[in-house]
Amino acid sequence: MAANGSSPEQSGRRHKVEGPKKHIVAFVFSILLTFIAFATVIGGEINKDFIYIILLGTAVLQVFVQMAFWMHMKDRGHRFAIIGILSGVFIVFTCVIMAEYWVWW
């Protein structure tokens, strides 16, 4: 984990403190995604399956924004974090698919 984003000549200097700008952009983006999701349902004269796809799409995108930027997953040294969460997600998908498609058969 030696490659930590900063070039060798920088490491002696003061650390660069990251500004709030990136996070405000992420915030605006997630508000926008939320708005799209709500508007699709409220405006809703469209095909039901299409609405579901939009809803799931915006939710997944939003989770990606949250995890990558706010939970620092995009930062270096998060390989075990990704493995931990992904193994959770794998079990979740199994459960959800089981409940949705098998329970009532």
Partner 1 sequence: MSAHTHTEGQLPHEPEKATLEGRNKVLGFWLFLGGETVLFGTLFAAFLALRDSVMDGPTPDHLFDLGLVAIATAILLTSSLTSVFAIQAMHRHETKALINWLIITVLLGLGFLGLEIYEFYHYVLEGHGFTTSAFSSSFYTLVGFHGAHVLFGILWITLLIIQLKRKGLTVVTAPKVYVAGMYWHFIDVVWVFIFTVVYLMGKVV
- Interatomic CA distance for residues 48 and 39, integer angstroms: 14
Residues that bind partner 1 (CB under 8 A): 1-2, 4, 6, 11-12, 15, 17-18, 20, 23-24, 27, 30-31, 34, 37-38, 40-42, 44, 48, 51-52, 55-56, 58-59, 62-63, 66-67, 70-71, 77-78, 80-81, 84-89, 91-93, 95-96, 98-100, 103-104
Residue 14 corresponds to which tokens in the numbers above?
Answer: 């003061």
Q: Which of 28, 53, 30 is nearest to 40 (CA)?
A: 53
Task: Pick between residue 6 and residue 74 the one whose CB is nearest to partner 1.
Answer: 6
The distance of closest approach from Cβ of residue 99 to partner 1 in the complex, given in angstroms and rounded to an integer, is: 4
Angle at 28 between CA 83 and CA 48, to 5 degrees: 75
The distance of closest approach from Cβ of residue 71 to partner 1 in the complex, given in angstroms and rounded to an integer, is: 5
Residue 2 corresponds to which tokens in the numbers above?
Answer: 């030696």
The distance of closest approach from Cβ of residue 96 to partner 1 in the complex, given in angstroms and rounded to an integer, is: 5
Residue 76 corresponds to which tokens in the numbers above?
Answer: 């270096």
